[in-house]
Structure 1
Amino acid sequence: MRNDLGVTFIFLIGCALVLTGCLAVKDEPGSEDAAASGQELENELSEEASGKDSGSSGSDLGNLEVWIGGEVTVTEDKITIKGESNLLPGTSIDSSGVNDVGFASTNFIDSTTVKDDGSFYFEFPGRESSIAVDLKLSNRNEETKEHYGENLEKVTGPQVYRTKEHGKYEVKADFIIDTDKEMPYTFSIETPEWGEVPDDYGDPHVWMEADVTSDHNYLYFHGKSNLLEGSQIGGNLRQASGGIVPFSYDFTQVNPDGSFELRVRYTNLRDGMYMPITYEPDSNSWEDVVAAYGEEGEKLEGDLVHKNDDGKQYAELQVMLDAPDLNPPEEVGMTVEEEEIKMQVPDDLLFDFDESALKKEAKDTLDDILKDLADLEKGTVIHINGHTDNVGDPEYNKKLSEKRARAVWDYMKKDGEIDGLDVHIQGYGDTKPIASNEKEEGRSKNRRVEIVINPQ
């Protein structure tokens, strides 16, 4: 299977036996009158919107095939959303946000009203960490309920999702604000393009599969299954020993076509690490899902099924990660993006405060890294980059970071083992932080020397 990490990923894929489910159908069997009524209304709205370009703001206001889009701009000071939609003017849209560790952000709880041309606008304060944002159609007012249905059951389109309550739906656009990116930046809100529903959707023989990509902040698990929509799955990244990797987890719900996406933060990729993607009955409250698999997972069977200490059953797919063939010291972070490998060496392993001369114990750390570099092919490009926090004069920090990067290179080249590598030295000062400088925890991460192999 193809991998975008430049390393091999092995996927352990098994099966679990479950009770057959079925796709969400908004009109109950025999409800031809409801279907006809909805179709007539949609046709009327389409006729009213004739002569306008489909897909542009205001082109088909009130159409029951709803779409919500727009443009998001992220700066250090604020986040703005210039939205577009074909929602009825006067309709309310609610916003919410969840941070990387799963907590709701009160700064993103807000509501706005759709204007006469279908546009809407949100503005939020700047962020120190990434956040997942939801924009949802609200059916609080009577006009919205009458038009789109008491439970939004009349709405169609790829942004319609089932909810935990049978027969109720939500309409939403979601996206991630990534504060690790260089700001300012702008992106468009994307409409999901769901694939075909698996032929065996809801079949007792359940399967999952996944592919993995990464950048220097996250592992991205792109999966497909025949699990019922709304099934909650996910887990915590694990060491080869089975111990959890702190703060490296994600949970999500299966999409309408059986797909799922997990985004897991990581800082140190090591051989033998794996990601368990788990279905646990205790984590699910969707009525249809619980009915299908049992309140304690008792209906689950197959190779993926295990029992916990309480005797409850769960299903788990383990995605094994084979890291680059490098073994830096455990305190040194290692991340991968395509062919580029970064080793992040904290400055307190190398230098005393405000110094650029290597500490005596720093040599043990660098000797271990040298063993890996000495095995690289001749001509491999290496960047040694110095970085600081933002405390003090920026120009002073830049010079200090360059001196520290130079000190590392001067030590590493002394025995000639890596003379064949194409090495570049650079000091960036405080211009490329990898964490917020607002707190000491973040500042300590920013004070580092990066050793980059195959820089992009």
Structure 2
Amino acid sequence: MKQKQGMLVSGALLAGCVEEDVQTDEDSEQDIGADAEEEEENINEEADVGEDVTAEADENIEFSGGIEIDGNDMTVTGETNLMPGAEIEGEVRMDDVASFGTDDSFEIEEDGAFELEHTIPDYDRTTHYRLVFNPYNQENQDVIDFYGGEGENIEGDFLRLDEEYDEEDVSIQVASFEHILPPDFDEQQSISIEAPNWDLPEDQGETDIRLDVKTSEEDNHYCISGGSNLVEGARVHGYLRIPGYQAIGYSGQVHANPDGSFELRVNIPDDLDDYEEDPYLVVTMNPNQSNQWEHIAEYYGEEGEDLEGELAEEGSVELEIPLDD
């Protein structure tokens, strides 16, 4: 009888263990089911967030804010309607000087605010600043899908042409604000970030090139501002020509704006009055120049062979500007 009791006890214990194990498995199945439901809810929430972000985004990109310059320090603050996750860049470039470590970037969050910090290199050169959203360099796939991998969906007053190189030249569209600082810029100043107002000429894109240029002398440089019928992105080169000499470092280059306008600054040599023949300024556009964008050749020919008119000269256009005495 004792053995039977013992066996019964053992059987009872075994039954208890089995019952406990079964109950644990059921709990686990319930936990797994709950986890799966929670995970599905999270995925749905993330999808809803993505849909909300895309729904609120606008292809007509806007920037607002300002640039504060304090000595060689530049602080750029503002707001944009770019979708969260988009990355903007601030670029500092100087004529005839390679710039390193001057750029900054910022990832846009829900409030659309941004801030970038730059140091302006201490060179006596014209500084070109650009605040830009470049869809070609984005990592967020939602951003790429919305604006287009080459910016084909971008709209608005800040829309500009650009070019990237990935085994071959790729024409793209970006949204950007650009500003030029002269070599002797005011070291304490504020600059507003505002939408440009382009007035496109009726003859833009014609092969008979028109250059309407005004020049002025500002401290230690010449300012050359002009209108033209050049297509957007055409690289315009302005420089000082000194007969009998090779003048290095007295030049500037810029891409024509959407309306064909441009602004160049050329440094003035200290010994300008010492030359036998009078120096003069030259403004030129050569479609075959190494840093011209790909689409320029489509308008004017790869060697500039389609250029015509009074300014056309051996595959380029050139305007000579005498200096005032």
> Normalised by the size of structure 1, how large is the TM-score?
0.51
Contact 2:92 2:120 (8 Å CA) reproduced: no
Secondary structure of the structure 1 residue equivalent to 2:309 = coil
Moved more, 83-92 or 279-288: 279-288
CA gap of 1:163–1:77, structure 2 versus 1, over 3 A, is: closer
Distance in 1, matches of 2:150 and 2:299, equals 23
Q: Distance in 1 between matches of 2:316 and 2:183?
A: 35
In the aligned structure 2, how far is the partner of 1:126 from the partner of 1:261?
20
Alignment of structure 1 residues 381-400 onto 2, 5 Å? none
Q: Distance in 2 between matches of 1:248 and 1:174?
A: 22
Aligned to 1:367: none
**Aligned residue in 1 for 2:237:** 234
| Correspondences of 1:253-402 after superposition (within 5 Å) | 253-268=255-270, 270=273, 272-283=278-289, 284-307=291-314, 313-323=315-325
1:214 aligns with: 217
The runs of 5 or more residues in structure 2 that have no matched partner are: 1-51, 164-168
CA distance in 2, matches of 1:78, 1:96: 14
What do residues 27-48 of structure 1 show as CA deviations (whole Å, max 9, x unaligned)?
Answer: xxxxxxxxxxxxxxxxxx9xx8
Please point out which of 169, 176, 179 is paired with 2:173.
169
Over the aligned positions, Cα root-mean-square deviation in angstroms equals: 2.7
SS at match of 1:281: coil
Deviations 1:285-317 (A, max 9, x none): 42321122222222223322223xxxxx22111
Aligned-pair distance for 1:216? 0.2
> Counterparts of 1:267 and 1:138 in 2: how far apart (Å)?
37
Gaps of 5+ in 1: 1-44, 49-60, 308-312, 324-456
Secondary structure at the aligned position of 1:247 is classed as: coil
| Count of aligned residue pairs for this structure pair | 258
Offset, 1:132: 1.7
> Which structure dedicates a bigger proportion of its chain to helix?
2
- Mapped to 1, the partners of 2:313 and 2:235 lie a distance apart of 17
Percent identity over the alignment?
Answer: 29
Give CA-to-partner distance per residue, 1:245-295, whole Å, 9 cap, x none.
432101111211111111222244659432211111321542321122222
Q: 1:112 aligns with which of 85, 100, 106?
A: 106
Q: Which structure's relative contact order is higher, taking Cα pairs within 8 Å and 6+ residues apart?
A: 1
Aligned letter for 1:117?
D
User: TM-score w.r.t. structure 2 length?
Assistant: 0.70
Q: Does 1:135 align with 2:141?
A: no
Secondary structure in structure 1 of the residue aligned to 2:250: strand
Alignment of structure 1 residues 198-213 onto 2, 5 Å: 198-213=201-216
Report the structure number with the largest CA radius of gyration: 2
Change in CA separation of 1:273 and 1:79 when aligned onto 2, cut-off 3 Å:
same
How far apart, CA to CA, are the structure 2 residues paired with 1:199 and 1:177?
30
Secondary structure at 1:188's aligned position in 2? strand
CA distance in 2, matches of 1:320, 1:254: 22
Distance 2:120 2:90 in 1: 16
Q: Secondary structure at the match of 1:246?
A: coil
What is the SS of the residue equivalent to 2:317? strand
Q: Give the distance between the partners of 1:126 and 1:303, measured in 2 at CA.
A: 40
- Name the aligned partner's letter for residue 87 of structure 1: L
1:181-232: CA deviation from partner (whole Å, max 9, x where unpaired): 453332223432211x221222232211111223103221111111222211
Partners of 2:61 and 2:110 in 1: CA distance:
16
